[in-house]
Amino acid sequence: MLTGKTALITGSTSGIGLGIARVMAMHGANIVLNGFGDVNAAKRTLAEFDCTVGYHDADMSKPEEIAAMIKYAEMEMGGIDILVNNAGIQHVAPIDEFPVERWDAVIAINLSSAFHTTRLLLPAMKARRWGRIINVASAHGLVASANKSAYVAAKHGLVGMTKAVALETATTAITCNAICPGWVLTPLVQKQVDARAVLDGVDNEEAKRRLLGEKQPSLQFTTPAQLGELAVFLCSPAADNIRGAAINVDGGWLAQ
Ligand code: NAD
């Protein structure tokens, strides 16, 4: 279904980004990977599919490196049809103890990077008369949790930006939507599981149960593959008129 399309997925060397890359490759898309994880392992994950895979090591907190990545995608990969803004980090601390440098990093990577990729790619999408922008926000783009002020601010901002871009492109064949996962067991969340295990003096499995139990009624993690399938659906003609939506995939988190 995505044959002939090229997708840039930021932060795709692990976790959700890699999961989305894998499902998009399975559906025929060429992929541009980005991120600081194990690039060769990520490429091996995509090797079974008949697609071209590129990689750029842009630090998503640095606008000039983001611009270099977009140039690389245009020169080496023939341009980008599908942009998935996925790169993200977390820092957990009460706001009056939140390190200023961590605040700036979370806002830069989780929010401002999507501004830069979008502003730089939109003109080419308009020229091609088709495009998909998928922002990986979070349940924390719609509700808050204590001790995650920067993350919650960034993700609420990303959901807001999604709506603005959707309105600016509403009469075109370019759509912009947000996916809002609850808990997904990735390296980003494993760190929080580890911290919980230490705090409560419990093992890894019990720490996972406690994290899920607080927020996610299904008591199941969403998988990166499930989010990949949703992203592919958002690229399909059936989704042509889904615009500015924030789709929660959260085991019932927001239903409470
Ligand atoms: P992850 O840590 O597995 O992946 C994050 C990716 O971003 C990695 O490839 C990492 O190398 C990359 N990255 C980090 N800083 C970067 C930078 N400065 N420049 C470029 N790449 C950078 O985490 P994940 O859980 O897969 O998170 C992916 C996205 O999903 C994030 O935006 C996160 O906020 C969001 N999310 C995750 C969950 C969850 O439960 N895991 C829930 C909701 C939303």
Q: How confident is the model at residue 38 (pLDDT cuts 50, 70, 90)?
A: very high
Q: How confident is the model at residue 188 (pLDDT cuts 50, 70, 90)?
A: confident
Q: Whose CA is nearest to atom 3 of ligand 1?
A: 15
**Which pLDDT score, from 0 to 100, does residue 12 have?**
98
Q: Which atom of ligand 1 is nearest to the CA of 185?
A: 41
- Extract long-range pairs of 233-236: CB within 8 Å, 24+ residues apart: 234/132, 234/134, 234/175, 234/177, 234/179, 235/1, 235/2, 235/5, 235/24, 235/82, 235/132, 235/134, 236/1
Q: Whose CA is nearest to atom 2 of ligand 1?
A: 188
Question: Among candidates 161, 63, 81, 87, which has minimal Cα distance to 121?
Answer: 81
In the numeric block, which tokens belong to residue 179?
């996916």
Question: Which fold does the domain 6-184+222-255 belong to in CATH?
Answer: Rossmann fold (3.40.50)
Which residue ranges make up each domain of the chain? Answer: 6-184+222-255, 185-221
Pocket-testing residue among 16, 136, 148, 155, ligand 1, by greatest number of atoms within 8 A of Cβ:
16
Using one digit for the tens of pLDDT, what is the confidence trace for 8-18?
Answer: 999 999 999 99
Residue 174 pairs in a beta bridge with 131
Catalytic residue among 49, 72, 151, 183: 151
**Which pLDDT score, from 0 to 100, does residue 218 have?**
98
**Phi, psi for 76 (deg, rounded to 5):** -100, -20
Q: Whose CA is nearest to atom 36 of ligand 1?
A: 138
**Which pLDDT score, from 0 to 100, does residue 74 have?**
97
Cα dist from 204 to 64, 91, 200, 209, whole Å: 40, 20, 11, 9
Considering the chain, what percentage of its residues have pLDDT values greater than 70? 100
pLDDT of 179 above 90: yes
The Cα 78–Cα 240 span in angstroms is 23
Average pLDDT over residues 66-91: 98
pLDDT of 196 above 90: yes
Query: What average pLDDT does the structure give for the chain?
Result: 97
Residues having CB within 6 Å of any atom of ligand 1? 11-17, 34-37, 59-61, 86-89, 109-110, 136, 138, 181, 183-184, 186-189
CA of 171 to the centre of ligand 1 (A): 31
Annotation marks residue 55 as catalytic: no
Using one digit for the tens of pLDDT, what is the confidence trace for 92-146?
Answer: 999 999 999 999 999 999 999 999 999 999 999 999 999 999 999 999 999 999 9
Considering the chain, what percentage of its residues have pLDDT values greater than 90? 98
Which secondary structure element, helix H or strand E, spans residue 74, and what is its range? helix 63-77
